[in-house]
Homo-oligomer: A and B are copies of this chain.
Amino acid sequence: MPASPTPHVSWKDRMGPTLDGLRRAVTTEDGPSGVPARLRGWLAGRRSSGRLLFLNFRDGSGFAQVVVAKNRVPPESFEAARACPLESAVEISGAAFADARAPGGMEVRAEAFAVICAAEPYPISPKEHGAQFLLDHRHLWLRSKRQHALLRIRDEVLHSFREYLREQGFVCADTPIFTPNACEGTTTLFETQYFDRRAYLAQSGQLYNEAVALSVGRTYCLGPTFRAEKSKTRRHLIEFWMLEPEVAWAELDDIVALAEGLICHTVERLLERRALELEALGRDLAPLRRIRAPFPRITYDEAGEILAGKGTGFTLGDDFGAPDETALTEDLDRPLVITHFPAAIKAFYMEPAPGRPDRVLGLDIIAPEGYGEIVGGSQRIHDPGLLRRRIREHRLPEDAFSWYLDLRRFGSVPHSGFGLGIERFVSWMAGLSHLREAIPFPRLLYRLSP
């Protein structure tokens, strides 16, 4: 039983060409006999016009129209293509031609069609299914053209965030999920037995990021975050991903500019690299093309005045609700930056505003088009005495924060950072009405599978 029966072939040479590659070839090499094509993938759709079958074929890299003409293929090929269930795994040979009328600008004319593995009758049909049915079949629903586009958009968003931060000298440092203390109250924390003690699942990497920022200057973490919140809204997930940059020496204005730069870069890259996918979702690209820095910027108090004029029922001193956020951004074509929040409604570590100790140098960024808060952050307190006082005022266990206080005892400097919710950002970009489609396998209040 020899393990290497064949000579070494590299990965790049092993895997056959994809639709993606074929589409590129067709635009440059198209001739009267087309570009030879041998494709493996799945049958995503079919319509028949007597002696012609129009197949919607997908191979993972994309979708293409395949035409099977009765008089161009062996009879068993035509019969297989006509009858095999949707989502069967199939192999097609033929030739690809540029065709402006075909979706994606290319048509494949089949010379042979074979079923590799016939599917059972496929549960998802082109008709409308309810959200619960689709979520129950999430493992199959992911194959639709729409979910395909969403997977690639999410991938591109994550890539563009990382790309921008890397260009700016940031170091990605993964912060821990298991944390020893329920620092800010246990109500929304998941807990687990960690050998002979309890551990809690982190809701943010921020405190750890601060330690890393005082080492490498500019850092970020990007990972899953967990919130045991009994809310069942279209803007909440139990398990979501968050990007959190943290920068030594950065003050509030710097971090606002970082958020602007990061968001604008990612919107631009998405328009450049994923316009086809955005269009497949029916996303209107015009609002995305208008996203430019600087973003309009107001204080919490100014926002309160605007809301008083709009009559959303907002009470000064409270946090903004979703209707407030929508009202504040309804006339805007860019995200809105809000700063200088009441200290009472924000976390203990936020730096007080100069000359206004009841306000803190926090920032929220609200997406336009009703997509709500996408960024929350602040300048952090760097004075050790003030930070200790805040920890006591918030009745937090000082012991648990001794390492965090150390960051102020040894070379403390102003520093700032924020968290950006990946699924909220993807929803905004893709124009989704609910976060559940912005992550491959959503975890919701009543949903833990598949």
Contact = CB atoms under 8 A, between A and B. Distances in A.
B253 A6 contact: yes
A168 interface: yes
Nearest to A181: B449
Contacts of A162: 159, 162
A217 B17 CA distance: 12
Contacts of A411: 42-43, 87-89, 117, 119
A235 interface: no
A166 B174 contact: no
A261 B45 CA distance: 35
A389 interface: no
A4 interface: yes
Interface stretch (A312-320, A367-375, A440-448): A440-448
A426 to B, nearest CB: 11
Interface string A216-227: 111000011010
Given A216-B60, A261-B11, A1 B301 contact: yes
Given A142-B215, A440-B208, A1 B410 contact: no
A298 B3 contact: yes
Contacts of A41: 217
A239 interface: yes
Tell me how many chains of this kind the complex includes.
2
A396 to B, nearest CB: 15
A191 interface: yes
A14 B257 contact: yes
Contacts of A212: 142, 151, 440
B249 A169 contact: no
A401 to B, nearest CB: 10
A382 to B, nearest CB: 7
Nearest to A144: B215
Contacts of A253: 6, 9, 14
Q: Interface centre among A60, A119, A138, A298, by most B CB within 10 Å?
A: A60
A392 interface: no
Interface string A292-321: 011001110110000000000000000000
Interface stretch (A46-54, A102-110, A194-202, A278-286): A194-202
A211 interface: yes
Given A14-B253, A180-B448, A239-B178, A356 B215 contact: no
Contact of A410 (B4, B119, B197): B119
Given A143-B215, A178-B239, A197-B448, A172 B155 contact: yes
A12 to B, nearest CB: 7
A192 interface: yes
B190 A172 contact: no
A297 B293 CA distance: 54
A11 B215 contact: no
Contacts of A201: 192
Contacts of A119: 409-411
12 contacts: A10-B261, A11-B168, A117-B411, A117-B412, A139-B211, A139-B407, A148-B215, A151-B216, A154-B172, A175-B440, A176-B239, A179-B448
Q: Which 3 interchain pairs have the tightest Cβ spacing?
A: A60-B217, A403-B450, A139-B211
